[in-house]
């Protein structure tokens, strides 16, 4: 940014005579120079044009990263013969991946802050693709343990990276929609995976089984996606290759209303500690854990549907319906939440109700009623909308880049804990009705509804408290220094929105409800 970044003391220095605070550029947001200062009102038509350009270049890549298809390949492979070939148990199918995800989640988030986001995700997707293909060479538990460990390690960068990028490029309202759009592509991935699984069942080769073909095909698709990310996915609006210098300024100023800035590559320990002490961090983590105990159905779904009495061919095709349901419900849910003011928690609660109905149907319908049981199973996919809304909500109510990285890591770690623990409830002694697992799932849905309403209550109370406070002028006169092309050192006033303040430090911050 100029000479101002090379200071002997990176902490703020207060100049009493000049009555301003001079800070190092490492302390402020990377977009401070682009987005601050008196630049006149932002033309709404130009802002809309830039947003559409961002959508055109970013959304196809995020939607094309079919991470969910990669995760569900093991569940699909269970129907295609992997358990018999490698002597796996049902519990092992769903746990290895998420334990690795959990261990590497925070290191991945730190790397996302330190390194260019797009390049780091591309690197991880490439390793991911190689690990997927390597599944085909595995003949026992030890081999699968290694490749699943690698998959989980790489997965930690994807959702966290997408959340960071969404907050960089989009306003609060836009984030709810965009997070929903790239997450609902998981439903599309389920459909693609279902058809690929169906196709591999028809491949007859003497030394290569259908599940091995599934891993090779999905691995190749993932490698193509990794190459696209490396060359096309932007790291930040401040250096996005598809935006002109003028458009980058507009892109940064567009998100000024978020009061969260773009990013800061400097790790701030005080923000990490604040994240750990913030009650809403742990409420969101608790929600993530409870909402992802039922997510064990991801790997169990096809096994369960098969137990209803459907053939392997019918099971792989019926799995496509789960994808359709996920697409429809997430799309409608995020659109409702973005159009109805202060409704995120309420919409989330409403979308959990069909899940509870599904649990009742599966527990009480006669075992001979295959259609009814299948319908109940499909209903349990509606509540995914609640988790998607929670992801976007967390991003909207957290400011300060290090804090945002930390809370993302905590929530996704809790997501891993729920996913890793849940497969152990699918015991052979509970088959075929699995009453105990389904009761646990039903209780988790009720807890999720209660937690979302609690988060809303806490944030609404804090907003009221801040509305009653006097105006806070602490950060009104903050400057960075930069050197012009002519060699002149000048002061640039930094707007509060680009000081990389946390949501607690910035008393003008209001929590989205």
Is the CB of residue 122 less than 8 Å from the CB of residue 219?
Answer: no
- 3-state SS, 51-90, equals HHHHHHHHHHHHHHCCHHHHHHHHHHHHHHCHHHHHCCCH
The rounded distance, in Å, linking the Cα atoms of 261 and 276 is 21
Neighbours of 181 (CB within 10 A): 19
Q: What is the pLDDT of residue 484?
A: 60
Q: What is the pLDDT of residue 507?
A: 83
Residues 6+ apart with CB under 8 A from 16: none
Q: What is the pLDDT of residue 492?
A: 66
- Give the helix/strand (H/E) hosting 489: strand 489-493
The rounded distance, in Å, linking the Cα atoms of 198 and 117 is 35
The rounded distance, in Å, linking the Cα atoms of 47 and 288 is 34
Residues 6+ apart with CB under 8 A from 14: 21
Same fold yes or no, 44-237 and 266-468+482-512: yes
The rounded distance, in Å, linking the Cα atoms of 402 and 27 is 11
- Per-residue pLDDT 10s for the chain (513 aa) are 333 333 333 334 434 344 445 555 555 545 555 555 546 677 888 888 989 999 998 888 887 765 555 555 655 665 566 666 666 654 555 577 778 888 888 888 888 888 888 899 899 989 988 888 888 887 777 777 888 888 888 888 888 888 888 888 888 888 888 888 888 777 777 777 777 777 777 777 777 777 778 888 888 888 888 898 898 888 888 888 888 888 888 888 887 776 666 666 777 888 889 999 999 999 999 999 998 888 766 655 666 666 666 666 666 666 677 778 888 888 899 899 888 888 999 999 999 999 999 888 888 888 778 778 778 878 887 888 888 899 889 988 988 888 988 898 899 889 888 887 877 777 777 777 778 888 888 999 999 999 999 999 999 999 999 888 887 777 666 666 665 666 666 666 666 666 778 888 888 888 988
State the pairing for strand pair 478-483/20-22.
parallel
Angle between helices 172-200 and 44-64 (to 10 degrees): 30
Q: What is the pLDDT of residue 159?
A: 84
Superfamily holding 44-237 = MFS general substrate transporter like domains (1.20.1250.20)
Residue 482, phi then psi, degrees to nearest 5: -140, 155
Superfamily holding 266-468+482-512 = MFS general substrate transporter like domains (1.20.1250.20)
Mapped onto helix, strand or coil, the DSSP state of residue 244 is: coil
The rounded distance, in Å, linking the Cα atoms of 262 and 170 is 10
Helix residue spans in 308-434 (DSSP H)? 312-339, 344-364, 370-379, 384-396, 401-421
Distance of CA 222 to the CA centre of its chain: 18
Domain boundaries of the chain, sorted by first residue: 44-237, 266-468+482-512
The rounded distance, in Å, linking the Cα atoms of 456 and 439 is 27
Is the link from the previous residue into 432 a cis peptide, with omega within 30 of 0?
A: yes
């Amino acid at each position: 940014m100029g000479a101002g970044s090379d200071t002997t003391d990176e902490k703020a220095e207060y100049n009493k005579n000049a009555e301003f605070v001079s800070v190092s550029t490492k302390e402020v947001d990377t977009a401070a120079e682009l987005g601050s200062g008196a630049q006149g009102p932002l033309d709404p038509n130009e802002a809309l044009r830039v947003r559409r350009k961002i959508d055109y270049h970013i959304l196809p890549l995020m939607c094309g990263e079919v991470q969910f298809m990669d995760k569900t390949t093991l569940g699909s492979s269970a129907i295609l013969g992997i358990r018999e070939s490698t002597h796996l148990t049902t519990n092992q199918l769903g746990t290895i991946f998420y334990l690795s995800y959990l261990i590497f989640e925070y290191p991945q988030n730190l790397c996302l802050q330190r390194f260019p986001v797009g390049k780091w995700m591309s690197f991880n997707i490439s390793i991911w693709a190689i690990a997927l293909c390597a599944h085909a060479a595995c003949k026992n538990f030890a081999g699968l343990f290694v490749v699943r460990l690698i998959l989980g390690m790489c997965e930690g960068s994807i959702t966290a990276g997408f959340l960071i990028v969404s907050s960089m490029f989009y306003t609060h309202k836009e984030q709810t929609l965009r997070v929903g759009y790239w997450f609902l592509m998981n439903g599309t991935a389920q459909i693609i995976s279902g058809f690929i699984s169906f196709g591999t069942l028809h491949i007859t080769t003497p030394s290569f089984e259908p599940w091995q073909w599934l891993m090779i095909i999905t691995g190749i698709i993932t490698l193509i996606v990794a190459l696209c990310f490396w060359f096309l996915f932007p790291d930040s609006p401040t250096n996005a290759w598809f935006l002109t210098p003028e458009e980058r300024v507009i892109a940064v100023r567009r998100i000024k209303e978020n009061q969260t800035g773009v990013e800061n590559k400097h790790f701030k320990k005080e923000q990490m500690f604040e994240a750990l002490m913030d009650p809403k961090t742990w409420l969101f983590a608790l929600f993530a854990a409870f909402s992802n105990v039922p997510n064990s159905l991801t790997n169990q779904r096809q096994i369960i549907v098969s137990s209803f009495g459907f053939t392997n061919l019918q099971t792989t095709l019926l799995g496509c319906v789960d994808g359709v349901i996920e697409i429809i419900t997430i799309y409608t849910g995020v659109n409702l939440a973005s159009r109805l003011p202060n409704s995120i928690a309420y919409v989330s609660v409403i979308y959990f109700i069909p899940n509870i109905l599904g649990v009742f149907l599966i527990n009480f319908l006669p075992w001979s009623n295959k259609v009814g049981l299948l319908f109940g199973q499909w209903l349990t996919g509606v509540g995914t909308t609640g988790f998607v809304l929670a992801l976007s909500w967390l991003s909207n109510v957290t400011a300060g880049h290090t804090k945002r990285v930390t809370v993302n890591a905590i929530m996704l770690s809790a997501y891993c804990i729920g996913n890793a623990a849940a497969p152990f409830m699918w015991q052979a002694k509970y088959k075929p009705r699995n009453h105990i697992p389904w009761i646990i799932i039903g209780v988790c849905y009720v807890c999720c509804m209660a937690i979302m309403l609690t988060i809303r209550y806490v944030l609404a109370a804090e907003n009221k408290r801040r509305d009653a406070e006097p105006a806070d002028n602490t950060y009104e006169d903050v400057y960075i220094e930069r050197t012009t092309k002519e060699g002149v050192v000048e002061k640039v006033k930094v707007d509060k929105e680009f000081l990389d303040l946390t949501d607690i430090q910035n008393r003008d911050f209001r929590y989205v409800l």
